[in-house]
Amino acid sequence: MSTIGKTLNQFIIESQRAFPDASGDLSGLLNDIGVACKQIAHLVTRSGISGLGGYAETHNVQGEPQKQLDILSHDIFVQQLGWTGHLAAMISEEIEDVISIPTRYPRGQYLLAFDPLDGSSNLDVNVSVGSIFSILRCPDSTTQPGMKAFLQPGTAQVCAGFTVYGPATVLVLTLGNGVHGFTLDRDVGEFILTHPNLRIPQQTAEFAINMSNQRHWDSPVEKYIGECLAGADGVREKNFNLRWVASMVAEVYRILMRGGVFLYPIDERIRQQGGRLRLLYEANPMSFIVEQAGGLSSTGEQRILELMPTELHQRVPVILGSSAEVARLIRYHQKPE
């Protein structure tokens, strides 16, 4: 039977058949996430009409201004997932502490880390935004999980995914056995498997970095980007293309479709805070997806999935995408000269 045309729910149930002892919690949780993403997709599409595209006059835990839709998307995740009995606790970009499941609801065996709306500065200019999520096992389901429960390396992720709310809404998922993309069919209200077994081409001639930070970069990144910009006349002997959407979800989606390398490296401006992107709900889930699609993901010095987190909202440098390019960047970090 062809895999094209399968709904997200069918796909999850089928993939869980390999685990006859599974409780059904993971299937239920992923189904709930799909519903939350459909609700957010609806809000995002209507934000111009409803007037919800603007700022909320509040700031998140990292001091960044929040859009109204950052807060609403966070609320949708919490309301959709908090009571169905699949989760032990959650963390969100928008909230400082662990979000506990109210005691009146059953508590499940999984932990969820999520960025409810990634790239939200793009909302009012009608450019793609998205949601990112990472699922971990709760180390001890007998007690209320605190911060420590979430401090697991990315290699411990059971599942990771993201949804891009673009011209089409697409949910990308890995359960540790390849990467699959599901497009929302708004007529029937279901995510349909449209992109099974995504693979990132090893080679690429496309890079994504915020060039306005160039004067702050460290030498390995300066060297790599300099060589890309030199094009066919330089040591790489080929012309490169530059893209920067400022929505990580859109950049990673593009890399899954046609290859490329994405960099949000450490630089002088953000050295103190450890990087720009957040480890638990941005870098780890995206790294899991990229590696599962045959790419690589690194800080430049270390594999991101092997970092041992020390804080819920920890930031890290991120270099991910086509394996040949990321490997080259890792080499440049080892030998900056």
Stretch that binds ligand FBP, among 40-48, 95-103, 241-249, 288-296 (CB under 6 A): 241-249
* Region class of 206: left (phi > 0), else alpha (psi between -120 and 50), else beta: beta
Calculate the CA dihedral of residues 191, 153, 114, 201 and round it to 10 degrees: -40
What minimum distance in Å lies between the beta carbon of 329 and ligand FBP? 17
- Are 286 and 248 spatial neighbours (Cβ–Cβ below 8 Å)? yes
**Six token digits for residue 303:** 């594999």
Q: Which is nearer to ligand FBP, 64 or 268 (CB)?
A: 64
312 binds ligand FBP (CB under 6 A): no
Determine phi and psi for 113, rounding to 5 degrees: -115, 130
Helix, strand, coil % over all residues of the chain, rounded to 5: 35, 25, 40
> Which residues between 43 and 82 bind ligand FBP (CB under 6 A)?
64
Q: Is 117 annotated as a binding residue?
A: yes
Stretch that binds ligand FBP, among 51-59, 112-120, 134-142, 224-232 (CB under 6 A): 112-120
Interacting partner of 247 out of ligand FBP, Mg ion, none (Cβ under 5 to 8 A depending on kind) = ligand FBP
Nearest residue to ligand FBP on Cβ basis: 248
251 binds Mg ion (CB under 5 A): no
Q: Edge to edge, what strands does the sheet with 190-195 contain?
A: 99-100, 87-92, 110-118, 129-137, 159-165, 169-174, 179-185, 190-195
Interacting partner of 264 out of Mg ion, ligand FBP, none (Cβ under 5 to 8 A depending on kind) = ligand FBP
What minimum distance in Å lies between the beta carbon of 250 and ligand FBP? 8
Q: Which is nearer to ligand FBP, 115 or 206 (CB)?
A: 115
Residue with tokens 């979000």: 99
Q: Is 23 annotated as a binding residue?
A: no
Q: Is 30 annotated as a binding residue?
A: no
x/- contact string, 254-273, with ligand FBP (CB under 6 A)? ----------x---------
> Which residues between 85 and 104 bind ligand FBP (CB under 6 A)?
93
Interacting partner of 126 out of ligand FBP, Mg ion, none (Cβ under 5 to 8 A depending on kind) = none
115 binds Mg ion (CB under 5 A): yes
DSSP bridge pairs for 267: 217
**Six token digits for residue 155:** 């290699």
**Six token digits for residue 226:** 């300099």
134 binds ligand FBP (CB under 6 A): no
246 binds ligand FBP (CB under 6 A): yes
User: HSE (CB half, 13 Å, CA atoms) of 184?
Assistant: 22
Number of residues that bind ligand FBP (CB under 6 A): 12
**Six token digits for residue 136:** 């971990």
CA-wise closest residue to 51 among 124, 118, 122, 127: 124
- Count of residues in the chain: 337
- 3-class SS at 62? coil
> Which stretches of the chain bind ligand FBP, using CB under 6 A?
64, 93, 115, 118-121, 210, 246-248, 264
> Which stretches of the chain bind Mg ion, using CB under 5 A?
93, 115, 117-118
| Binding positions for Mg(2+) | 93, 115, 117-118, 282
